[in-house]
Amino acid sequence: MDSIGNFLGTLTGLGFGLALLNYPVKWINKRWISKLPKDSSVRQLYLTLMKWIVKNHRYFALAAAVALVIHLTLQITFKWVSSTGLIAAGLLISTVLLGAYGFVVLKGKRGKWLNVHQLLTVLTVFAILVHDSLKF
């Protein structure tokens, strides 16, 4: 059961990590890539990658949330639940729910919710790192 739990935890981290790329790829584009000539092959390749990441951001987050729920259910049922894991799970679910709210209800309009969503993301990264290193 440990290997399944570890796999699901890794899958959660992978989905979250892919969703996390949304901000830095946009920042890199704004800062450097957009200044390259329009016919630059680097620019074209980067824009293709960026569009794929941005378009699938919500699906990566959803995949992370689904993997997390399965991971947490298995941990509760067959093993034990760590306090650091519960904190990381709560932050990740809060981040996903706020992102879904911003996308569905607010139709992606920027506002304070986006700042909170980004703050929760940073806190979630730290919580996952602590959870992965301490495991208690």
93, 65 Cβ separation under 8 angstroms = yes
Angle 15-81-136 (CA atoms, 0-180°, nearest 5)?
90
Q: What average pLDDT score do residues 17-29 get?
A: 97
CA distance 134 to 87: 13
State the pLDDT confidence band at 135, using cuts at 50, 70 and 90: low
- Tell me if the pTM is above 0.85: yes
pLDDT at 43 over 90: yes
pLDDT tens across 62-101, in order? 999 999 999 999 999 988 889 999 999 999 999 999 999 9
Distances (CA, A) of 109 to 20, 36, 93, 103: 19, 29, 21, 8
Per cent of the chain over pLDDT 90 is: 89
Helix (H, G, I), strand (E, B) or coil at 104: helix
CA distance 102 to 98: 6
Q: What is the mean pLDDT of the chain?
A: 95
